[in-house]
């Protein structure tokens, strides 16, 4: 699954276009490497998102195409 789609489905970022822009600006990393919007993610990958001074690290637990609001929290686990 593409990283921008994962961020939207997991609700780490509200909209896919915002997730795409964050990737293009270098604010998203997958396994400590800068990620483009089309970078593929798999279970066990670590995603790091920089929001100004705040940094979120999340481990990918599950990949789902269609997700309800409650199920979105089961797609990742925050680290630290």
- What domains, with CATH codes, occur in the chain? 3-79 (3.10.290.10)
Give the pLDDT of residue 15.
94
Phi-psi region of 32 (alpha: psi -120 to 50; beta: other; left: phi over 0): left
Give the pLDDT of residue 69.
87
Give the pLDDT of residue 52.
87
Distance CA 62, CA 48 (A): 16
Give the pLDDT of residue 25.
95
pLDDT tens for the chain, 80 residues: list them: 999 999 999 999 999 999 999 999 999 999 999 999 999 999 999 999 998 899 999 999 999 888 888 888 899 999 87
């Amino acid at each position: 699954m593409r990283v921008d789609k994962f961020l939207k489905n997991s609700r780490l970022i509200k909209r896919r276009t915002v997730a795409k822009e964050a990737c293009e600006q270098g604010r998203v990393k997958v396994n400590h490497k800068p990620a483009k919007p089309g970078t593929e993610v798999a279970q066990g990958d670590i995603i790091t998102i920089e929001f100004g001074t705040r940094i979120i690290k999340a481990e990918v637990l599950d990949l789902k195409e269609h997700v309800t609001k409650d199920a979105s929290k089961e797609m990742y686990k925050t680290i630290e």
